[in-house]
Structure 1
């Protein structure tokens, strides 16, 4: 390639440490210019006070970091809850995005335990539409993550959501490990149809045999093929490290500074093989 392709490197800071100063120091040491904010001081981003948001902004400013996204838990609740429940939390996430200057807010498409997907489809679309309408005009784009066990966990239902809502304020985050854990070959079975809506890349990989999360390029997430295809399509956005190498839990995961570095170096090898630079 005649000219280097450059993506913006980011990562889930709370996978490093609860203290945002430690988060910021490690991200800077890895050469990243951005950080994805899910929690700080052990408190979820949608529950931080105005004072805490201001302090967090100061920490990031001092480190020379910008927020790539607000990694909210919105939509990681049962679909039976009223629409207003998540709209209220989205208001707080939008405020966090405003304070931190984040262009994206990550969201999910609801749990539905004990029911078939087709039984909850209309309720999911209603809620996702309401969330997107709330975000329209704010300058912030909601990105749906294909999380395991939510409605939008496999490519066909992810596509159903984004096409049915049909809003400029709702796009997709691509998470290869989550697809693997749902029995999907991410690139082979989902990339072509979903690529027009993908604006954000989350970096983690997994083994199809066990679902175990592993560093990028070491599992069955077809990460290199996806990175190469994104490169060729002109993608120039964020690549956000979400390693989950120590453990994962319902609202997130943890790696620690050392394992986070392992994940970053593994992804750097993938990028090098694809001829992509991350900064």
Structure 2
């Protein structure tokens, strides 16, 4: 059975009870943990961490995965080594503290022009991170992102195959894929579906050369077809709602949630 999950992005100390309250009213008690009060996991302010734990307990919230933005930097940047040596273990420690055993990472930013041997270095970087996480009982997921070494369907497939670890799966984000390759999801889905462990739902369209996020059903990334394909293939993982639009409006989440429920019904 598909399990709707919401990403968490909050901007002020009073927003947690509002977000959790609206989510639980819609029947959602699972969140993917990324940013709280302007700080990305695990670099939270102490007070924000305390508020997060208190509000999570009060609303019965569970977390499906953590996303510290691991390797969202150019391969040659000094940040990559800092991520590998410090952000990764800190992220695993804090995830352990809240009982989460799934870590999301990214492909590093692709150099322009591509540097000799860069792909092989990316593969070794991710292999090492995955092996460290798995040794601590975690599974790891690769999220696609425009401009990274996991930008298009083919690029994601190449990384997944090259890393070749049973506990290394894929976050299928068709919104990000469309931004990178501007193609319907179907061709990429057929290649990637053996690896899909997590699904991010975003809808949008390219307007004046820029990707603009829209409510479900109002863009061209075909959320309906995406969910129907997953149901037809017996997918039982999470669906992460990324329902914010530009400009953001209060009704974005309930409108997109209602649209999703009409597909799942």
TM-score class, shorter: 0.7 to 0.9
Q: Secondary structure at the match of 1:167?
A: coil
Please point out which of 18, 21, 28 is paired with 1:25: 21
Answer yes or no: is the 8 Å Cα contact 2:10–2:16 preserved in 1: no
Q: How many residues align?
A: 260
Gapped runs of 5+ residues in structure 2? none
The alignment yields a C-alpha RMSD, in angstroms, of: 2.4
The 1:208/1:228 distance shift into structure 2, 3 A limit, reads: same
Query: Which digits, 9 at most, give the CA deviation of each residue in 1:39-83, with x for residues without a partner?
Result: 223222121367754552232111111012212211111111365
Question: Alpha-carbon deviation of 1:242?
Answer: 1.6
Partner residue of 1:269? 259
Q: Secondary structure at the match of 2:245?
A: coil
Question: Alpha-carbon deviation of 1:153?
Answer: 0.4
The 1:178/1:90 distance shift into structure 2, 3 A limit, reads: same
2:116 maps to 1:106:
no
Partner residue of 2:82? 85
- Which one scores higher on RCO, CA 8 angstroms, separation ≥ 6? 1
2:6 maps to 1:8:
no
Residues 112-127 of structure 1 aligned to structure 2 (within 5 Å): 112-116=110-114, 120-127=118-125
Query: Which digits, 9 at most, give the CA deviation of each residue in 1:162-197, with x for residues without a partner?
Result: 111111232111111111111232422200110000
Q: What's the TM-score once normalised by structure 2's chain length? A: 0.87
Residues 112-151 of structure 1 aligned to structure 2 (within 5 Å): 112-116=110-114, 120-151=118-149
Q: Distance in 1 between matches of 2:11 and 2:19?
A: 6
Q: Which moved more, 1:95-104 or 1:156-165?
A: 95-104
Partner residue of 2:31? 35
Partner residue of 2:153? 155
Gapped runs of 5+ residues in structure 1? 1-5, 248-254
Residues 175-186 of structure 1 aligned to structure 2 (within 5 Å): 175-186=173-184
Answer yes or no: is the 8 Å Cα contact 2:10–2:38 preserved in 1: no
Q: Secondary structure at the match of 1:48?
A: coil
